[in-house]
Structure 1
Amino acid sequence: MDGAILSARKILVVEDEALVAMLIEDYLTDFGCAVVGPAGSVKQALLLLDAESVDAAVLDMNLGGDPVEPVAAALAEKGIPFFYSTGYGDQGRRTDYPAQVLGKPFNQEQLRTALVRVLTERDGPA
């Protein structure tokens, strides 16, 4: 069931740590998703979001000291579901855009669950 929900979905990855970004890319590719990015900065993420259509996004909450809030705002405005990825847990949430938080470190199944949840909330059950 999850395979059908995730297959061929375009997922924006916003993550400034190269190794974490590569891991997320590997996981998403394993799910059958197309990866957009990764973007390591707010500016880069906004440029990608303007250039590409995406189905969902994974947002690191802190990009080199900058909050990801402008990206969350752009996603919310476009109706694109997203969730945060952070090593700070819910305490790290410094945004006006509520979304689930996936704590770092996470494994492949935790990422799959978070992604299926946001897509199902938007699209309804498969």
Structure 2
Amino acid sequence: MTKDPRQRLKDRRILVIEDEYFLADDLKRVLSSEGAHVIGPTGDRAEAIKLIDRDGFEIAVIDINLHDELAYPLADELERKGIPFVFATGYSRDVIPDRFARVLRWEKPYELRGIVDGLVGLCERSMRGVRRPIAE
């Protein structure tokens, strides 16, 4: 059976942590159109940590600034759990802590299709790339 090229993220579970409503909604729509199961989006740091603790996803997209709170503690928790993530942010690389130097960063405004390409690549390289059934 051939893979549908429009479903490059089919059955991937992606957590979206973004506080800008329209951007989060656009990202969710594009990821869903590629077959992803989107968890969130949420722009609330406390809600995000609950979703991270639940661990029902393979990869995460994080905005660094969530309603004037930095999301680095969320990134630290994802690192601790071994869950790959990317930063989708308006912050330049030079203000991001050195411990995240290897994390892929998309600078706003970003091209949504470029994000899909990046997530496909990250999923392919991910040690967590084994797909598990989605729990309802």
State whether TM-score is above 0.5: yes
Are 2:7 and 2:33, in contact at CA under 8 Å, matched by a contact in 1? no
Correspondences of 1:1-126 after superposition (within 5 Å): 6-94=9-97, 96-98=99-101, 99-123=103-127
In structure 1, the residue corresponding to 2:99 is in which secondary structure? Answer: coil
Q: After the TM superposition, which of the residue ranges 14-23 and 41-50 deviates more from structure 2?
A: 41-50
Please give the alpha-carbon distance, in whole angstroms, between the structure 1 residues aligned to 2:90 and 2:117.
18
Gaps of 5+ in 1: none
Letter in 2 for 1:21: A
Identical positions, percent: 30
Letter in 2 for 1:17: E
Are 2:62 and 2:87, in contact at CA under 8 Å, matched by a contact in 1? yes
Residue 134 of structure 2: aligned partner: none
Please give the alpha-carbon distance, in whole angstroms, between the structure 2 residues aligned to 1:85 and 1:52.
20
Letter in 2 for 1:41: D
| Cα displacement string for residues 60-112 of structure 1 (whole angstroms, at most 9, x for unaligned residues) | 01111111111111111111110000123323424633411011112232111
Q: 1:124 to 1:96 in 2, by over 3 A?
A: closer
Structure of higher CA gyration radius: 2
Root mean square deviation of aligned Cα: 2.3
Residue 132 of structure 2: aligned partner: none
Letter in 2 for 1:32: G
- Measured after TM superposition, the shift of residue 113 of structure 1 is 1.6
Alignment coverage as a number of residue pairs: 125
In structure 2, the residue corresponding to 1:6 is in which secondary structure? Answer: coil
Gaps of 5+ in 2: 130-136
TM-score, normalised with respect to structure 1: 0.86
Structure with the higher fraction of residues in helix conformation:
1
Q: After the TM superposition, which of the residue ranges 90-99 and 77-86 deviates more from structure 2?
A: 90-99
Please give the alpha-carbon distance, in whole angstroms, between the structure 2 residues aligned to 1:23 and 1:114.
16
Please give the alpha-carbon distance, in whole angstroms, between the structure 2 residues aligned to 1:17 and 1:40.
7
